[in-house]
Amino acid sequence: MFRFTNDRSSRSTGDGAKGKRAIVVGAGFGGIAAALRLRARGYEVQLLDRLEAPGGRAQVYRRGGFVFDAGPTVVTAPFLFEELFELFGKRLEDYADIVPVEPWYRYQFPDGREFDYGGSLDDTLEQIRSFDERDVEGYKRLVDMSERIFDKGFTELADAPFHRFGAMMKTVPALLKLRSYKTVHQLVASFIKSEHLRQAFCIHPLLVGGNPFDTTSIYSLIHFLERKWGIHFPMGGTGAIVNALGRLMGEEGVAFRGGAEVEELVVENGAARGVVLASGERLSADLVVVNGDPPFLYKNMIDRRHRRRWTDQRVDRLKYSMGLFVLYFGTERKYPEVPHHTIVLGPRFKGLLDDIFHRQTLADDFSVYLHRPTATDPSMAPEGKDSFYALVPVPNLDADLDWDVEGPKLRDRLVSFLDERILPGLSETITEDFFVTPRTFESRFLSHKGSGFSIQPVFTQSAWFRFHNVSEDIDDLYLVGAGTHPGAGMPGVLCSAKVLDRVVPAPPRTTAVRARESASAR
Ligand SMILES: Cc1cc2nc3c(=O)[nH]c(=O)nc-3n(C[C@H](O)[C@H](O)[C@H](O)COP(=O)(O)OP(=O)(O)OC[C@H]3O[C@@H](n4cnc5c(N)ncnc54)[C@H](O)[C@@H]3O)c2cc1C
C-alpha cells in the first residue's frame, strides 16, 4: 500500500480537541487539491483511492528503464499548483522543477506541411506569416476574442460556485455577448481562413474531451490560457508534480490511503456521513468530497432513494466525452528531430470527429497526439533511447467494439502510421510497448462509459448544467474533478477544488488550528 508519512499529523489533533473530519474519495489532481485546501482550512482529511498510488489519470508506468506518464503532459497554468503550496507558506519550486517547453506543439499535416506553434505573440505571428500570410490579422483578432472569453470564463467563473440557478442567470448576458452559443470551430473559422490553421487552433476542446464542432466556444479560453502562461513540463514527468504534492500532503498531515475502493456513501438524515469501503470497513466523516466520476458516484455509490435529481436515466442521457486509446512505448534509438508535443493529423478532420463522437465507429484513419518527454528530460528513458506515448481519440463504450480484439489491431495500425509519418523505422525499434483502451478507463478509474474526460464540455453541460460542486441531492457532499464545474484538464480540476473554499463551511477553529495559524503568521 502506498502511504505518505504524516510526519506532522499530530499538529491537527495534538491538543486533544476533535477536529472536523473530511473524506476525499479519489486522488486525482482534483481530489489532491481538495484534500490540501480542506486541510489548510483546518479539517482532518483522509484521502482515499482504489489505486495504490495517487495521481488518478496522472499515474506513472515504469518499464525496462522507461518512464511513462500515463495521462496529462501539457501543463498550462502552473500557478494553480503553486497556490497549493502557498496555502502552507511553501514554494512549489522547492519540490519540483517545472520548465517551459518550446515549441508548444508541432502540427504535422498529411500533405507533409508542419506548423510549429508557441513562444511570444510575435513568434506566433511570424510562424503564421510563413505558413499562410492571410491569417496574420485574423489570428490577432482570435487572440483578442479568446482573451475576452478568458477574462469571463476563467478569471471570473472557473472557481465560482455554480450550484444556484441564479448564478447561471446572472452570467447569461455576458455569455451571449461572448457568443458562447457558437462552437469552438465556428469561432475559430470566423477569424482564420487556412483549413490547416483552423484545425490547429480549434484542437483545444479535444484536450478536455470535446468535439470542436460541438463544444461551446467558452472553451476557446484555453487558447488564451496557453498564450498567457505558455506550456510547461515538470522534470521527471507529470508524476514529479504528483510526488511533490504527495510530499506536501505528508508534511501537512493529509492521510493518503491507497487500495481503498469506496463502494457506498453513508447517508444519514439526508447528509453524507462517511463511506463504506469494498472491504466492508466503514469510515465516518462530517463531510465527503468525491473526485471519482460523478456519473459513477450517483449511479453506483448512492442508493436510489437518496437521489431526486441524479436518477439513473438522467445520468445516462448525458453526452459523454470520447474514449482514448494510448500506446506507451520506448525506442531503442533516439528521434531527436521530434519535439516534445506533436499532433499528427490524418487525412480527415470533421469526418473523423463525426465517426468518434456521433457515428461511434472505429475509423481506419486517425489523428494522433505524440508525446516525447525525452525531448525535455532525457532521463525518462535509458541512455540513447526515447520514451513516447501516442494518444488516439476513439469512441467511448457506447460503441459496440470488442477492445480485446480491436486493441491489438489498432496498436499495429498505429505503429505503421507513426513509422510512415514521423518515426521512421519504428516497427523495428519499438520496445516495452503496452496500451490502454476505454475498457481500461472503465475498470481502472471507474469512468462511466470508459470516457477519457467524463461528460462532454457542450453548452448544455457547462456551468450550472454540469455536475455541481455542491451535491443537489445530499447535504455535506461535494464534488470535484473532470465531470464537475468547470471541467476536465488539470487547470479545470484544480479550479473545481478552489470552489470548495467558497462553499464548504469553515470548521470550528480548534486550539490546534489556531496554533498553526499563529505559527504561520510568525
Ligand atoms: C491520456 C490523457 C492525457 C491528458 N492530457 C492532458 C494534458 O496534457 N493537460 C491537461 O491539463 N489535462 C490532460 N488530461 C486530462 C486530465 O488528466 C484530467 O482531466 C484530470 O487529470 C482529471 O483529474 P480528476 O481530478 O478529475 O481525477 P482523475 O485523474 O480522474 O482521478 C480520479 C481518481 O478517483 C479514483 N476513484 C474513482 N472512484 C473511486 C472509488 N469509488 N473509490 C476510490 N477511488 C475512486 C480513481 O481511481 C482515480 O484515481 C489528459 C487525460 C488523459 C487521460
Q: How many residues does the chain have?
A: 522
Q: How many angstroms separate the CA atoms of 292 and 276, rounded?
A: 15
- Relative to beta strand 232-234, strand 262-268 is unpaired
Residue 437 domain-assigned? Answer: yes
346 lines ligand 1 (CB under 6 A): no
Q: How many angstroms separate the CA atoms of 20 and 287, rounded?
A: 8
Residue 2 domain-assigned? Answer: no
453 lines ligand 1 (CB under 6 A): yes
pTM: predicted TM-score of the whole model, two decimal places = 0.94
Q: What is the pLDDT of residues 321-345, one digit of tens each?
A: 999 999 999 999 999 999 999 999 9
In degrees, to the nearest 5, what angle opens at C-alpha 304 toward C-alphas 302 and 308?
A: 100
Domain final residue, candidates 230, 252, 267: 230
| pLDDT recorded at residue 13 | 35
CA nearest ligand 1 atom 50, residue: 72
Ligand 1 atom at shortest distance from the alpha carbon of 453:
19
Residue 59 domain-assigned? Answer: yes
Q: SS3 of 254, please?
A: coil
- Relative to beta strand 323-331, strand 287-290 is unpaired
Residue 87 domain-assigned? Answer: yes
Please answer whether residues 387 and 244 qualify as being in contact, where contact means their C-beta atoms are separated by less than 8 angstroms.
no
136 and 77, same structural domain? no
77 lines ligand 1 (CB under 6 A): no
331 and 415, same structural domain? yes
Q: What is the pLDDT of residues 69-81, one digit of tens each?
A: 999 999 999 999 9
445 lines ligand 1 (CB under 6 A): yes
197 and 209, same structural domain? yes
Q: How many angstroms separate the CA atoms of 82 and 176, rounded?
A: 33
| pLDDT recorded at residue 18 | 53
List the one residue out of 87, 46, 13 whose CA is nearest residue 284. Answer: 46
Instruction: Supply the range of the domain harboring residue 517.
Output: 10-98+237-318+457-521
Distance 275 CA to ligand 1 centre (A): 21
74 lines ligand 1 (CB under 6 A): yes
| pLDDT recorded at residue 490 | 97
290 lines ligand 1 (CB under 6 A): no
371 lines ligand 1 (CB under 6 A): no
Distance 31 CA to ligand 1 centre (A): 9
Distance 145 CA to ligand 1 centre (A): 30
- Relative to beta strand 21-25, strand 287-290 is parallel
205 lines ligand 1 (CB under 6 A): no
457 lines ligand 1 (CB under 6 A): no
The answer for residues whose C-beta is within 8 angstroms of residue 269's C-beta and 6 or more apart is none
| pLDDT recorded at residue 195 | 97
CATH of the domain at 380: 3.30.519
Please answer whether residues 218 and 205 qualify as being in contact, where contact means their C-beta atoms are separated by less than 8 angstroms.
no
226 and 108, same structural domain? yes
226 and 115, same structural domain? yes
Ligand 1 atom at shortest distance from the alpha carbon of 74:
8
Distance 438 CA to ligand 1 centre (A): 13
| Domains held by the chain: number | 3
432 and 344, same structural domain? yes
| pLDDT recorded at residue 511 | 56
Domain final residue, candidates 411, 445, 479: 445
190 and 128, same structural domain? yes
Residue 365 domain-assigned? Answer: yes
CA nearest ligand 1 atom 25, residue: 30
List the one residue out of 173, 153, 288 whose CA is nearest residue 215. Answer: 153
Q: From 2, 29, 50, 57, give the residue whose CB has the most ligand 1 atoms within 8 Å, as the site to mutate.
A: 57
Residue 451 domain-assigned? Answer: no
Residue 189 domain-assigned? Answer: yes
Distance 28 CA to ligand 1 centre (A): 5
441 and 335, same structural domain? yes
CA nearest ligand 1 atom 47, residue: 445
CA nearest ligand 1 atom 6, residue: 72
159 and 124, same structural domain? yes
| pLDDT recorded at residue 516 | 56
| pLDDT recorded at residue 154 | 87
Distance 70 CA to ligand 1 centre (A): 10
264 lines ligand 1 (CB under 6 A): no
109 and 217, same structural domain? yes
Residue 246 domain-assigned? Answer: yes
Domain final residue, candidates 230, 265, 297: 230
262 and 143, same structural domain? no
483 lines ligand 1 (CB under 6 A): no
92 and 122, same structural domain? no
CATH of the domain at 19: 3.50.50.60
Segments in the chain below pLDDT 50:
1-17
